[in-house]
Amino acid sequence: MNLQFPYLTSEMTQEIFKSNETLSLESGESLPGFQLSYTTIGQLNEAKDNVVWVLHALTGDANPHEWWSGLIGEDKFFDPNRHFIVCANMLGSCYGSTQPLDENPRTGEPYYYDFPTLTTRDLANTLELLRQNLGISQINTVIGGSLGGQVALEWAFTLGDKLKNAIIVASNAKASPWIIAFNEAQRMAIEADQTWGEKHPNAGKRGLETARAIGMISYRHPKTFILRQGETEEKTDNFKISSYLRYQGLKLANRFNAFSYYKLSKAMDSHDVGRSRGGTEVALQHIKARVLAIGVDSDVLFTADESQFIAHHVPKGTYREINSIYGHDAFLIEYEQLNYILKGFYLESNFAS
């Protein structure tokens, strides 16, 4: 599909990009073709310089106007009346892109546990193939948080002069042992589910509930739980936080699957922009885009100093910080601060005016 200016509208469209070419992966494995579900909203202007590419987090989808509603939409910072906004569901995710529950063309059966290992570099490479297919020669901005920020940074390295701005929110240049530890504990919870190992779409579902509960602990700051789940009466059981974590686990398990969660958390662990490029600092120095790295002061998962590291080692880096009690999840909550930070970053180019 090649995008041509006269045919675009400001309404959101949902499309499928299909590649029949074998996709070679960093692991040495391959996929015999793949597809990505993606959305576009807004119009490509005549200068074709208003593309904003949004990358979602671990369990996100291609509808950023829903999960980043404070930033994306009419009269929001990224407004489809001014910007052409693209968002693709990442490879391995279960919202329309090729994932472990899909049929393996080589066997005629679902992949299940045979779905190949993915890295953030693999995910960035599939987005690059989609960009080329859409005929987009220049991207004004890529923006992503958490896993989306990792993939955005990887893609920024390969895009070179084709990218003007990269906004990396609550993310890092290399997965830390701390993040890998949390993800490994979550995968262990999935593996402990007695159904894990069965070839069934719901295999590992109860384990996924536990995994999500573990994840929620890392997504928030202790002060958040005190404020929102603290007790006002004396008790010895049935605590608010207990029911909250169980609810969050069940909520995710009803909309996601353990296979995609397992593979995408592995991809997050793999993240290292410096791998085979001379190391992290050297790789960051080769990124040509302006980079805005946004940290969260209370983030205990992707710590603020990891965002600072990115800003300090890219040639055109800026660091800004969100002050919040919400921990890692602040990048999805603190819209007023995000808008303020973005306005300052784009002030010189007048991109958001």
Active site amino acids? 146, 299, 328
| The dihedral formed by the CA atoms of 273, 274, 280 and 285, expressed in degrees to the nearest 10 | -80
What residue type is 172 in one-letter code?
Answer: N
The strand pair at 103-104 and 109-110 is best described as antiparallel
Q: How far apart are CA 309 and CA 215, in angstroms?
A: 24
* Contact status, residue 314 vs residue 284, Cβ threshold 8 Å: yes
Look-up of token digits 């909250």: 244
Look-up of token digits 């190949």: 116
Going by C-beta distance under 8 Å and a sequence separation of 6 or more, which residues neighbour residue 164? 49, 138, 139, 140, 141, 289, 290
How distant is the alpha carbon of residue 181 from its chain centre? 19
DSSP summary character for residue 263: H
Strand partners, 293: 168, 319
Q: How far apart are CA 85 and CA 50, in angstroms?
A: 8
Nearest residue to 190 (alpha-carbon basis) of 214, 170, 168, 210: 210
Look-up of token digits 């675009």: 8
The DSSP code sequence of 119-137 is: -HHHHHHHHHHHHHHHT--
* Full strand arrangement of the beta sheet holding 290-296: 13-24, 30-41, 84-88, 51-55, 139-145, 163-169, 290-296, 317-322
Tell me how far CA of residue 226 lies from CA of 72, 82, 100, 214, 239, in angstroms: 31, 41, 38, 17, 12
Strand partners, 168: 144, 293
